[in-house]
Amino acid sequence: MLPLRAPFRSIRALPSPMAAAVAARVPARRFYHDKVIDHYSRPRNPGSMDKSDPSVGTGLVGAPACGDVMKLQIKVDEKTGTITDAKFKTFGCGSAIASSSYLTTLVKGMRLEDASKIRNVDISKELCLPPVKLHCSMLAEDAIKAAIADYQGKNPKAPISDLAGTARTLEKEAAA
Is residue 30 in some structural domain?
no
Which entry of 61, 74, 112, 136 is annotated as an active-site residue?
136
Quote the number of domains for the chain.
Answer: 1
**Whether pLDDT at 84 is above 90:** yes
CA dihedral over 44, 48, 49, 51, signed as positive or negative: positive
In a domain, 15, yes or no: no
| Angle at alpha carbon of residue 141, lines to 145 and 92, rounded to 5° | 120
> Looking at 19, 22, 63, 66, which residue is catalytic?
66
Q: Is the pLDDT of residue 29 over 60?
A: no
What 3-state DSSP class applies to 34? helix
Burial of residue 69 (CB within 10 Å: 0-12, 13-18, 19+) is middle
Say if 96 falls within a structural domain: yes
Average of per-residue pLDDT values in the chain = 83
Which CATH number does the domain housing residue 141 bear?
A: 3.90.1010.10
Is 136 a member of any domain? yes
Answer whether residue 98 is part of any domain: yes
Q: Is residue 16 part of a domain?
A: no
pLDDT at residue 31, as a whole number: 79
Q: Is 93 a catalytic residue?
A: no
Domain limits at 78? 38-157
Share of the chain above pLDDT 70, in %: 75
pLDDT tens track for 91-107: 999 999 999 999 999 99
Give the pLDDT confidence of 100-141 residue by residue, as tens digits. Answer: 999 999 999 999 999 999 999 999 999 999 999 999 999 999
> Does residue 1 form part of some domain?
no
